[in-house]
């Protein structure tokens, strides 16, 4: 099977590359924004026609600068909504199954129990709204799709919270991190494995799913674990969100309920601590 992976320079696509050898039956074609612009419908159509044997597309291309999106509204929607719509159109025309990655930021964070796929989205940031619009466009245009919402992605690739904490620790002996936002860190390698298992199993249970690692934690506790597992002696201060204002609002609580995907793939989902420990030791 031939798999197109967009956004090849990002951390999720990089984690897919790390797992390639486990899936000998899959042939991967990687593109970035310079080789394939998902915002350019005509370019997408030509690419899919030239690669007419595509079976799946994993869309890792996204605008993820959450705070910048508050002022770069058009850019965020162009990539996250229009780009997703374009992919849905060409996948529909070419009978290609689309796997699209979305976010916990489609929710407002007012719940105190994990969000299910049936909960009504209510984004409180431009980034969240643009990602939700992308979901809507795919659902309108394409039956054969999997939308996977995830949360707090990190890995040794790309830009993420874990790498930021480790970088700051190189020059500081004291760091402050918000402690009143709770969710679940998700190792991008675990998510990559889930996406490839969906493809490998040739599942036809199309639709919307949630996936994150198990457990709930604050950003402060996530940072604390990063430093502990890395044997770094850092003075860590817990602060409220109001003491660290950002252009974009974040959900106070965004843990995801993932029983639907667990049932589909018969998954054992690692606890966030276990996955973090695995890549830091």
CB 51 within 8 A of CB 28: no
Query: What tokens appear for 66 in the block?
Result: 């959450």
Which phi and psi angles does 237 have, rounded to 5°? Answer: -110, 130
Q: Which residues contact 170 (CB under 8 A, 6 or more apart)?
A: none
CB half-sphere exposure, 165, CA atoms < 13 A: 29
Helix, strand counts (H, E) of the chain: 10, 12
Quote the Cα angle for 226-227-230, to 5°.
85
Establish whether 127 is a catalytic residue: yes
CA neighbor of 5 nearest in space, from 71, 72, 54:
54
CB 155 within 8 A of CB 276: no
DSSP state of 116: P
Strands 182-183 and 186-187: unpaired
CB 62 within 8 A of CB 7: yes
SS3 of 214, please?
strand
Which one from 127, 154, 187, 209 is the annotated catalytic residue? 127
Catalytic (active-site) positions:
127
């Amino acid at each position: 099977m031939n798999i197109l992976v967009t956004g090849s320079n990002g951390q999720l696509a990089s984690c897919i590359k790390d797992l390639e050898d486990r899936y000998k039956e899959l042939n991967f074609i990687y593109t970035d924004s310079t080789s394939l612009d998902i915002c350019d419908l005509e370019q997408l159509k030509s690419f899919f026609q030239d690669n007419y044997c595509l079976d799946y597309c994993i869309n890792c291309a996204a605008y993820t600068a959450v705070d910048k999106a508050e002022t770069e509204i058009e850019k965020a929607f162009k990539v996250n909504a229009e780009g997703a719509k374009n992919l849905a159109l060409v996948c529909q025309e070419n009978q290609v199954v689309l796997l699209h990655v979305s976010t916990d930021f489609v929710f407002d964070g007012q719940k105190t129990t994990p969000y299910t796929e049936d909960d009504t989205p209510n984004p409180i940031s431009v980034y969240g709204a643009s990602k939700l619009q992308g979901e809507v466009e795919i659902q309108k245009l394409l039956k054969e799709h999997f939308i996977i919402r995830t949360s707090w992605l990190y890995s040794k690739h790309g830009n993420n919270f874990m790498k930021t904490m480790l970088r700051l620790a190189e020059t500081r002996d004291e760091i402050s991190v918000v402690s009143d936002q709770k969710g679940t860190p998700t190792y991008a390698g675990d998510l990559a494995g889930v996406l490839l298992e969906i493809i490998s199993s040739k599942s036809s249970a199309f639709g919307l799913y949630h996936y994150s690692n198990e457990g709930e934690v604050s950003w402060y506790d996530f940072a604390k674990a990063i430093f502990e597992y890395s044997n770094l002696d850092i003075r860590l201060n817990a602060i409220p969100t109001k003491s660290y204002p950002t252009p974009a609002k974040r959900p106070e609580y965004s843990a995801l309920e993932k029983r639907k995907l667990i049932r589909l793939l018969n998954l054992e989902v690692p606890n966030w601590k276990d996955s973090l420990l695995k890549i830091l030791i």
